[in-house]
Structure 1
């Protein structure tokens, strides 16, 4: 079947850390040549839209920043729509903070309405302790994404989901999860494509986030065995992706 639009994961699908995955640039070039629209749908909340796009451009991808849709952007859109002007304490990068601030959130370290947590590679015990105190005092808890791990040049590293579990365990408060596999990020990305779900396919390497996003929300899925979940691990799942390949070079866009 020919799909009219693509939702494409980044980490483990386009690149691992600072290394482009074989066939990824050619895959995007083929989509561009065929004038098939796509959106990069990523749970990575560490960068702004422009920063996330620049990483791809610097790696040699011919893309436009508007094609990037991150869990940080989805979190910002959620708060803007449901809690405009909310005060937020951020555990995460400056990219996450600036994305939330641009959506009208008021950043604060004291008595916030929300504690929003994204991957923070400079995470410290004090940051976790302060977040736990704020949540225990009544702040609502948001996790930008549930990823337990992500691939890098050095192998798998702890993801936001693993670190969020520390606060959840400490406070006995389960966070509102925004990113994949939740429907909120999928609906926003499909809307950006301007297509109905039956004409779209989601491409990713992580069964628990990418593939479940499609399976749970009515979008076809293509699992690429270049990142988190291996072919053997996918095969053990009760629900299977519509398609599975080892390399993007195996997939025809037309």
Structure 2
């Protein structure tokens, strides 16, 4: 049965941009979505930046994405946690993207009797802050992390990310965190709610089999893997699941989307 796709979710790094440069076809893809008024969200597991920061970053690369079309693991985490606590007291290790999202959901950020310890990504992890987090978790605070990525990209190469630091806290406390970001389908389902979309009418574009494609598959979305980022074709065989489509880059999807909008019927 052919699915009618009315909404799109797309990862950012490795799909739309690489470092600070737009990838081929990214502008055309976004332009088609906007001109045809197709609902979409740009997703990222990065919890450092606010949607406004990321919108500005994309604009620098020549891509127009309003901040309301950006959904981060920080926003998903804060939205998930809001109904999970009455006091809304949390100890937060992270940067502006996470602290702003928590603040906007009414949280008080404190090390005095917090219900929850929330770990996000930061470029300057403080041993004092991590020690406080460990002690609070030992004393009964719940342990939540924005995303499980163990490394992140930088111009100099891979750097430790949230998952790696969470592993250190787990080693010290014996407590595993609950990760809200991809591949947890919770993040995608919240994104679908944000744009009032149904999973059977939504496609997801990503460059990672272990986060993007897995989350999309478990959420019931049509999945498109692009080979312009972390996953190469030779890596796909390592996984027991497969994406619905494989493309060299977002440019292939942009062309396909444009043709479909012009009324052409395409084979898989």
The alignment's TM-score, normalised by the length of structure 1, stands at 0.93
1:84-163 superposed matches below 5 A: 84-163=86-165
The reply to whether residue 63 of structure 1 matches residue 65 of structure 2 is: yes
d(CA) in 2 for partners of 1:199 and 1:134?
43
SS at match of 1:221: strand
Deviates more, 1:119-128 or 1:195-204: 119-128
**1:53 shift after superposition:** 1.9
**1:214 shift after superposition:** 1.1
The reply to whether residue 242 of structure 1 matches residue 244 of structure 2 is: yes
**1:46 shift after superposition:** 0.9
**1:184 shift after superposition:** 1.4
d(CA) in 2 for partners of 1:6 and 1:85?
36
2:213 aligned to 211, 215, 236, which one?
Answer: 211
| Counterpart for residue 19 of structure 2 | 17
SS at match of 2:71: strand
- C-alpha root-mean-square deviation of aligned residues, in Å? 1.6
Deviates more, 1:97-106 or 1:19-28: 19-28
Contact preservation (8 Å) 1:150, 1:228: no
Deviates more, 1:138-147 or 1:191-200: 191-200
Deviates more, 1:124-133 or 1:184-193: 124-133
| Counterpart for residue 182 of structure 1 | 184
**1:33 shift after superposition:** 2.8
Contact preservation (8 Å) 1:6, 1:200: yes
5+ residue gaps in structure 1?
A: none
Moved beyond 6 Å, runs of 4+: none
Contact preservation (8 Å) 1:19, 1:153: no
**1:58 shift after superposition:** 2.5
The reply to whether residue 197 of structure 1 matches residue 215 of structure 2 is: no
| Counterpart for residue 226 of structure 1 | 228
Deviates more, 1:27-36 or 1:159-168: 27-36
d(CA) in 1 for partners of 2:129 and 2:49?
19
**1:109 shift after superposition:** 2.3
**1:246 shift after superposition:** 1.3
The alignment's TM-score, normalised by the length of structure 2, stands at 0.89
| Counterpart for residue 74 of structure 1 | 76
d(CA) in 1 for partners of 2:152 and 2:21?
13
**1:84 shift after superposition:** 4.1
| Counterpart for residue 37 of structure 1 | 39
Instruction: Please identify the structure whose Cα radius of gyration is greater.
Output: 2
**1:2 shift after superposition:** 5.2
SS at match of 2:144: strand
**1:98 shift after superposition:** 1.8
**1:154 shift after superposition:** 3.2
Deviates more, 1:157-166 or 1:101-110: 157-166
| Counterpart for residue 174 of structure 2 | 172
d(CA) in 1 for partners of 2:126 and 2:178?
22
SS at match of 1:152: coil
Alpha carbons of structure 1 residues 199 and 221: separation in structure 2 relative to 1, 3 Å: same
